[in-house]
Amino acid sequence: MKYKNLLINQKDRLAIVTINRPNKLNALNRETIQELHDAFKALETNNKIRTIIVTGSGEKAFVAGADIAEFANFSVKEGGKLAKKGQKLLFDLVENLSTPVIAAVNGFALGGGLELAMACHFRVASDNAKMGLPEVSLGVIPGYGGTQRLPQLVGKGNAMEMIMTAGMIDAQKAHRLGLVNHVVPQEELLSFCEKLAAKIGNNSPVAVAHAIKAINAGFKNNSNGFASEIEAFGTCFGTADFREGTTAFLEKRKADFPGK
């Protein structure tokens, strides 16, 4: 299958999925989310593929966020639908995929990009990587699982700080917090991930799939949290802060939020 926004490279039992929108810093639009869904589903049913690496094209960004221009004018209902559909179509799919998915985080992983990386089974970052969830600076909250997966990985307090400050952290801090498993030089990122994939590929794919399912089961008590996130995300679309935040972003100026 050919994809407009993805490159798929298969090496023996490994598939490398590269999000290829370099002029948009690989931002996730609806078309790319659908293509990622299709690619992951196809690779999961390919018995030859034991491991998947997902990364972004170029050295600047893994995924620099969602394509804000697509949803800046959404209503509350449309915002909620966007989060619900996206979570089901891609982020929950990746988290529960029976084939292990490694995120090779090269450069910026912001907003939906960090949420995609967190949905993967684990993460390796290049030494120039920057990660964050800047949604509150736009008058909205993370809507693709960020409010649930980030606390699971870095703890509640660290997640609260990252989300509420809308700031970025570097790869070294991400490693200290447990957000990424390894930090390697940019030029070694893919080769390092390929070595990890080879180690996984030597093991029983059936056992690995069961391990993924069992580990994920331990976090299912947060399932209602995802529903709460979807509702809150959609509600943000009806606020003046959201309109100001997205308008300021598109106009390339600092936002002046009216607040409560």
Distance between CA atoms of residues 114 and 130, nearest Å: 10
| 200 assigned to some structural domain | no
Token pair in block for residue 209: 């799939």
Q: Supply the range of the domain harboring residue 87.
A: 6-187
Distance between CA atoms of residues 154 and 157, nearest Å: 8
Q: Are 62 and 26 in contact (CB under 8 A)?
A: yes
Alpha-carbon torsion 105, 38, 207, 50, what sign?
negative
CATH classification of the domain holding 44: 3.90.226.10
Task: Average the pLDDT over 47-73 and give the result.
Answer: 94
In degrees and rounded to multiples of 5, residue 219 shows phi and psi of -110, 5
Catalytic residue numbers? 115, 135
| 231 assigned to some structural domain | no
Task: Average the pLDDT over 139-162 and give the result.
Answer: 97
Distance between CA atoms of residues 160 and 151, nearest Å: 8
Q: How many residues does the chain have?
A: 260
Q: Is residue 7's pLDDT more than 90?
A: yes
List Cα–Cα distances, 163 to 61, 143, 210, in angstroms. 20, 12, 32
Task: Average the pLDDT over 205-221 and give the result.
Answer: 88
| 55 assigned to some structural domain | yes
The residues near 250 (Cβ < 8 Å, ≥ 6 apart) are: 68, 69, 72
| 258 assigned to some structural domain | no
Token pair in block for residue 75: 């209503």
Reported confidence tier of residue 222, pLDDT bands at 50, 70, 90: low
Q: How many domains does the chain have?
A: 1
Directed axis angle between helix 76-86 and helix 223-236, to 10°?
Answer: 140
**Total-model pTM:** 0.93
| 158 assigned to some structural domain | yes
| 72 assigned to some structural domain | yes
Give the chain's end-to-end CA distance (angstroms, integer): 48
115-134 pLDDT per residue, tens: 999 999 999 999 999 999 99
| 226 assigned to some structural domain | no
Q: Of 179, 87, 203, 66, whose CA–CA distance to 129 is shortest? A: 179
| 248 assigned to some structural domain | no
Reported confidence tier of residue 217, pLDDT bands at 50, 70, 90: confident
Reported confidence tier of residue 156, pLDDT bands at 50, 70, 90: very high
